[in-house]
Structure 1
Amino acid sequence: MPGPLTYAEVGATLDAAAPLPAGYHHVERRERIGVGAEVFRRVADGVLAWQVSRGAGLEVRTDAERVVEGAEVISVTRLGPVRIGAPCRVVGVLDGPARAGFAYGTLGGHPASGEEAFLVERDADGVVWFTVRAFSRPGTWWSRLGAPVARVVQGRVTTRYLAAARALAG
C-alpha cells in the first residue's frame, strides 16, 4: 500500500464548516445518535478503533488497532462474489472532549480518488452527532464505467456506517 495519496485536497473533510472541494462527488450525512458524555466517548472510541467500518460490514485490514495519523488500511467490501479492496492512509485524527474522529485518503489501487471522514461531536446541549463527510471521483477506468453503481454502493455503505454508530451509542 505504500505510495502517495491520489488527490491533492488532503484534510478537506475534517472541517465541517468548510465546503468540500469542487470537481468531486460529495457525501455529507449527519445524524443525532444520543446524548451525553458517556455516549460521546463510547462512539468516539468505537470510531477510533475501526468499529464503525467493521460494523458497516467491511473487512478492515490494518496493523493499527487504533486509528493513528499515517496508518494504512485496506477496507474490503463484497459485491456478490467479488471482493474489492480500497487502500487508504489516515490523514488526520481528532480526539478531544467534544469532537473525535478521523479522515483517510485514497492510495493507488483504490477504485476512487478522494477522502472520507468519520466525525463524532457533542454540542453545547450534550447532543451527540455522527457525521460522514466524503468527496470522491472515479480513480480507475473500470470505476469510471461503473460510477453510477459505485454511488449506490457508497450510499449503502454510508447508511451502514450511520447504523454502526447508532449501535455503538446504545
Structure 2
Amino acid sequence: MHQQPAVPFSYADVGATAGEFPPGYDHFRLRRRIGSGRDLFEQAGEQIRVYRMQRGTGIFQQATTPVAEPGTELTVRLGLGPLGIEAPCRVVYVLDEPNRRGFAYGTLPGHPESGEELFAVEYDPTDDAVYALVSAFSRPATWYVRLTAPAVRLIQRWFATRYINTLRPH
C-alpha cells in the first residue's frame, strides 16, 4: 500500500528549539521550578508526553498517537468560542534524556503562526529541583496574526504559564 507523503512543516528551521533559535522569529522561553525530586521529574515527563500541558489548558483537540513521538500529528484549538481556530502541528522530536523529558512540535500549513514550540521538564541533580520549560520561536503566518501580533505574544506568554501550572503537584 502506498503511503501519502507527510505535509511539510510551514517553516524551514525544523528542530531549532533543540539549540540556537533562528533569526527572523519572536523568541520565547519560560522556565519555572515546579518542585523537587526524581519522582516528580518522572511523573511530569510522562504527563508531557501524553499532552497534559495541552489538555490541561483546554486547547487539545486530537493526536494521531496516544503518546507524543516524532511524526505524531496533533491539532490544538486556539481562540475563544466561535472565534476558535484549529491549528495543526507535528511532533518534531522527543526528549528522553536522564535529566530532560518532553517534546517539540512544529506548525503545519493552516496554523495561524509559523514556528516551533518545546514542552519539557528538567531535573537538576545538584539540588533535586524540577523545572518545567516552554520555549518557542514563531512568527505570524496569517494576516490576522500579523495585525494582532503584540496581543498574540502576550497570549503566548500567558499560555506558557498555564502549561507549566498543569504540571505542578496539587
Q: Structure 2 length normalisation: TM-score? A: 0.90
Note the 1:15-94 alignment, pairs <5 A.
Answer: 15=19, 19-94=20-95
Q: Provide the aligned length of Structure 1 versus Structure 2.
A: 164
Q: Which moved more, 1:52-61 or 1:112-121?
A: 52-61
Rounded Cα–Cα distance in structure 1 between residues aligned with 2:113 and 2:153: 11
Identity %: 45
Partner of 2:130: 128
Query: How many Å apart are 1:113 and its aligned residue?
Result: 0.4
Residue in structure 2 matching 1:149, options 144, 148, 151 = 151
Partner of 1:10: 14
Specify the SS of the correspondent of 2:166: helix
Specify the SS of the correspondent of 2:75: strand
Query: How many Å apart are 1:140 and its aligned residue?
Result: 1.3
Query: How many Å apart are 1:123 and its aligned residue?
Result: 1.1
Structure 1: which amino acid aligns with 2:163?
Y
Query: How many Å apart are 1:96 and its aligned residue?
Result: 2.8
Query: How many Å apart are 1:80 and its aligned residue?
Result: 4.2
Specify the SS of the correspondent of 1:94: strand
Change (3 A) 1:153 1:80: farther
Specify the SS of the correspondent of 1:20: coil
Query: How many Å apart are 1:165 and its aligned residue?
Result: 1.9
Q: Which runs of 5+ in 1 are unaligned?
A: none
Q: Which has the larger radius of gyration?
A: 2
Specify the SS of the correspondent of 1:7: coil
Specify the SS of the correspondent of 1:13: helix
RMSD of aligned alpha carbons: 1.4
Per-residue Cα deviation, 1:78-127 (whole angstroms, up to 9, x for no partner): 32431111111100001233210000000000000000001111112221
Contact map agreement 1:103 1:115 (CA 8 A) in 2? yes
Specify the SS of the correspondent of 2:18: coil
Q: Which runs of 5+ in 2 are unaligned?
A: 1-5
